[in-house]
Amino acid sequence: MSSTTITASLTDYIGEPVTTGTYITFFTDSGKFSNSNTVYTTQTIDETGIVNVSLMAGTGGNDANVCASSNGVTQCIAVQYIYEEEEEEEEEEP
């Protein structure tokens, strides 16, 4: 199953990284996060304000809209899944 990493950089109103332990919730309309759900809540683990989550592609072939919400601010991105087609082996003629 294909996956990608979604990175959110959380900053305060003056552009400084938020404090450690700030909660953020991710939502998707296609695919699932590492908790096997379409909603994933986590928190910043250090002073950088950066949070990474893994998004696994869904089986429906649809692209995903992913939103992240923290402290009353929500931002969304579109994620385009690229599916590789399996090549068919050609049979050799005798």
Report the pLDDT value the prediction gives residue 82, as an integer from 0 to 100. 73
Could you tell me the fold of the domain covering 3-79? Immunoglobulin-like (2.60.40)
Q: In what order do the strands lie in the sheet with 23-28?
A: 39-43, 23-28, 64-70, 73-79
| Cα-Cα-Cα-Cα dihedral sign, residues 33, 38, 41, 47 | positive
Mean pLDDT, range 30-56, rounded to an integer: 95
38 in Cβ contact with 65 (< 8 Å): no
Report the pLDDT value the prediction gives residue 62, as an integer from 0 to 100. 74
pTM: 0.82
Between 88 and 55, name the one with better pLDDT.
Answer: 55
Between 70 and 92, name the one with better pLDDT.
Answer: 70
